[in-house]
Structure 1
Amino acid sequence: MHDTAAVALAIFLVLVGISHFLFPGYFRTLVPSWLGGWAGTLVAGSGVAEVVVGGLVLVPGSRAAGGWAAAALITAYLASHLDALRHARRDRPRLLERPVGVVARLAVNVLYIGWAAAVALTAA
C-alpha cells in the first residue's frame, strides 16, 4: 500500500508542478500579497520544485528524502493560505476566497503534509 501512496503523491506533485506553467495566472493569485512582486518567479520556482520533489518521491532510493521535501514544500505553502485567510470575506464571489473556503484549503494542505510525511516514514 505504501508504494501506491508514494507513486500517487509523486504523480500528484509532478502534475501540479506542470500546471504551474500551464495555468500561471491561477497560481499567481495564490502568492501572498506581500510577495506580489515575486509572483512570477515564485510560481515558476515552486512548479520546478514540485516536479523535482515528485521525481524524488517516485524513485524508491530517494523516496524518504522526497517525502520530507514534499512535506516541507507544502508546509511553506501554508503562508499563502494564511494570507488568504487574513483577506477572506464572506461576500467574495469565489468560494475559495471566503473564510470557509480558505479554511478548507488549509485543511486539505494539512492532509497533504500528512500524506507526504507518511510516505517519508514508510520509505525509511
Structure 2
Amino acid sequence: MDKLGFLEMYLGLYMDYFTVLEALKNPESDYVVLDIRNAPAPIKKEQIKGARAIPAKDLANQLADLDKSKTYIVYDWNGGTILGKQALFILLKAGFQAYELAGAFEGWKGMNLPTEPAQ
C-alpha cells in the first residue's frame, strides 16, 4: 500500500468532534458514543455528555447488548493510549460500524465540549 492509501485508511478510522457533537444533539441519531476507559467513575469523574460507559476490558463480553444498526464512536483518555484502538478493533472484527474519536476525551475537554458526571 502506498503512503497516501495508508494515510487515507488510517484517517478513516477516526470521527471528528463536530460530527459527534451534532449526532449527540439529535435523539434520532444512529451514533452511540462509548466511554471505554478502564477506570471507575470516581476516577473518571466526567465523561462526554450522553456517552455510554463500557470499559474496554468488558467490551468483548457485552457485544450482544449492542445494536448492529448503530454506529459506535469509542474514546479513551487521550490519543496516545491504545484502549480506543483495541475497542475499535473488537467492534470492527465483530461486524459493527465503528470509529475512534479523534483526539479522545482529552481533546473533547480541551475544546470545552459538553461533559457530564461519569456513570
TM-score normalised over the length of structure 1:
0.28
**Which of structures 1 and 2 has the bigger CA Rg?**
1
Structure with larger RCO (C-alpha < 8 A, sep 6+): 2
Q: Which has the higher strand share?
A: 2
TM-score normalised over the length of structure 2:
0.29
